[in-house]
């Protein structure tokens, strides 16, 4: 483990925490009796589904936009996202007086599209997946001169997400394990730097879907590669290729990245609603799916303190009802 040659440091995360003070919620953390009994350990849930805009993404987006120079802010920003980063950038832009344009895939959930518009951003629907929306966003950068706000592979964005790690330490300083959903890797990268800087013995686990797991595949290949077999119910983590910065941090600090099936994710979402009264989108349920399915070994979980990150709760109610009825 090398904390001295990484793209961000604990200092960057502390600065992000100051920038976010009073702008985002310090979300709660609570022990889940159901998960603890099921897994024979002390399982705590971090409620980022209760964050402003319903997702952790607000943290990185606001930290990035608040760091722009006056000239950059005047040019406006553009971002690409299936929904959660879109909403974070839209609300941050509204709060800071920065014009925001968001490219979202045509397949994005209607609730996320409507919410992004509601926060004041202009929405451009383009493409069927993240890679296609990314290309469109880059075209807008060239045509309009806007600043591109990357959803995960940006030091300011990663540092903003890392503030979750600081909050966990405030509430549970003796935590043994953290389980984190992975899309492009910004969330796990920021949390890993925060926690490993405090205690190198904390285990950091990442979780991706079997259908889309670019980070897991990249770790096996020992370089950034792309992996996407099919779509996933965890649409917020439907990112086939991780970032260069996030891959470097994950490779250095993360204990293991596991993958779970679509059925595992659905069962996790149902368990969260029925037994914990938590509404989670598919991506937010990845961390719980990993422990309920046994993908993280009992030697780490049993008798230990583990925090699972519920990264977001933005899901169409009709989709949630369909999953619950299944």
Query: Is residue 277 flagged as an active site residue?
Result: no
DSSP tally for the chain: helices H, then strands E: 15, 10
CA distance 53 to 68: 21
Choose, from 46, 57, 112, 305, the residue flagged as catalytic: 57
* Dihedral sign of CA atoms 243, 246, 251, 255 in order: negative
d(C-alpha 49, C-alpha 127), whole Å: 27
Cβ neighbours around 261 below 10 Å, total: 15
Query: Is 152 strand, coil or helix?
Result: coil
d(CA 138, CA 113): 20
297: Cα separation from own chain's centroid = 23
Is 326 an annotated catalytic residue? Answer: no
Identify the CA nearest to 126 among candidates 118, 142, 138, 144: 138
For residue 127, the SS3 value is coil
Residue 285 DSSP code: G
Alpha helices in the chain, H assignment, sequence order: 10-20, 33-39, 57-66, 70-75, 84-96, 110-118, 130-144, 155-171, 186-198, 214-221, 244-253, 262-276, 286-292, 298-301, 317-325
Q: Residue 38's Cα: distance from chain center in Å?
A: 25
Give catalytic residue positions. Answer: 57, 311
């Amino acid at each position: 483990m090398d904390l001295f040659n990484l793209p961000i440091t604990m200092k960057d995360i502390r600065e992000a925490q100051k920038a976010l003070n009073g702008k985002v919620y310090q979300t709660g953390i609570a022990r889940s009796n159901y998960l603890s009994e099921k897994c024979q350990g002390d399982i705590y849930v971090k409620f980022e589904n209760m964050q402003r805009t319903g997702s952790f993404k607000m943290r990185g987006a606001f930290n990035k936009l608040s760091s722009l120079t006056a000239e950059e802010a005047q040019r406006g920003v553009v971002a690409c996202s299936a929904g959660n980063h879109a909403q974070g950038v839209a609300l941050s832009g509204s709060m800071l007086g920065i014009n925001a344009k968001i490219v979202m895939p045509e397949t994005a959930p209607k609730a996320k599209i409507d919410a992004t518009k509601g926060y004041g951003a202009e929405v451009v629907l383009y493409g069927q997946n993240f890679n296609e929306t990314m290309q469109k966003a880059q075209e807008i950068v060239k045509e309009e001169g806007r600043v591109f706000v990357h959803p995960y592979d940006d030091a300011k964005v990663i540092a903003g997400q890392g503030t979750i790690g600081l909050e966990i330490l405030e509430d549970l300083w003796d935590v043994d394990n953290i389980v984190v959903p992975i899309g492009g890797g910004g969330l796990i990268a920021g949390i890993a730097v925060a926690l490993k800087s405090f205690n190198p013995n904390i285990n950091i686990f990442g979780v991706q879907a079997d259908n889309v797991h670019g980070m897991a595949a990249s770790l096996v290949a020992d370089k950034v590669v792309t992996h996407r077999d099919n779509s996933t119910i965890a649409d917020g983590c439907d990112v086939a290729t991780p970032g260069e910065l996030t891959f470097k941090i994950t490779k250095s600090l993360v204990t293991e990245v596991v993958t779970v099936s679509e059925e595992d994710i659905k069962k996790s979402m149902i368990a969260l609603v029925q037994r914990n009264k938590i509404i989670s989108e598919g991506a937010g349920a990845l961390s719980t799916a990993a422990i309920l399915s046994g993908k993280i070994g009992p030697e780490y979980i049993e008798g230990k303190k583990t925090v699972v990150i519920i990264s977001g709760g933005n899901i169409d109610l009709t989709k949630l009802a369909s999953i619950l009825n299944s």
